[in-house]
Amino acid sequence: MIVRCLLCHAENVEVSERISVSELAGLYGKMLSESIREEFEGHKEISFYQCGECDLRFFFPTITGSEAFYEQLQRFDWYYLQEKDEYNFAARFIAEGDSVLEIGCGRGAFAKKIMAGDYTGIEFSGKARSRAQEEGFHIIKETIQDHAKTNGRKYNVVCSFQVLEHVADVNGFLKDSVECLKPGGLLIISVPSADSFVSRVTNGILNMPPHHVTWWSDRCLGAISEMFGLDMVELDHEILADIHKDWYAATLTLNALNAALRRSQRLIDTSLLGRTLGRFATAVGRYYGLVLSDRNLRPRGHSVTAVYRKPGGE
Rule CB under 5 A: which residues touch Zn ion?
5, 7-8, 10, 51, 53-54, 56
Whichever of 51 and 114 has its CB closer to Zn ion, that residue is 51
Those residues whose C-beta lies under 8 Å from the C-beta of residue 113, and which sit 6 or more positions away, are 87, 88, 91
Whichever of 2 and 297 has its CB closer to Zn ion, that residue is 2
**Shortest CB 50 distance to Zn ion, Å:** 9
**Shortest CB 183 distance to Zn ion, Å:** 27
**Shortest CB 230 distance to Zn ion, Å:** 16
Contact yes or no for 249/297 (Cβ under 8 A): no
Whichever of 53 and 195 has its CB closer to Zn ion, that residue is 53
Amino acid at 124: F
Burial of 208 (0-12, 13-18, 19+ CB in 10 A): buried
User: Which of 94, 223, 212, 213 is CA-nearest to residue 159?
Assistant: 94
**Shortest CB 267 distance to Zn ion, Å:** 20
Whichever of 50 and 72 has its CB closer to Zn ion, that residue is 50
Computed over its alpha carbons, how large is the radius of gyration of the chain?
A: 20
Tell me the longest C-alpha to C-alpha distance in the chain: 61
User: What's the CA gap between 93 and 103, in Å, rounded?
Assistant: 17
**Shortest CB 81 distance to Zn ion, Å:** 30
**Shortest CB 23 distance to Zn ion, Å:** 27
User: Which of 55, 57, 27, 53 is CA-nearest to residue 40?
Assistant: 27
Whichever of 175 and 266 has its CB closer to Zn ion, that residue is 175
Whichever of 94 and 189 has its CB closer to Zn ion, that residue is 189
Which phi and psi (to 5°) does residue 284 adopt? -65, -40
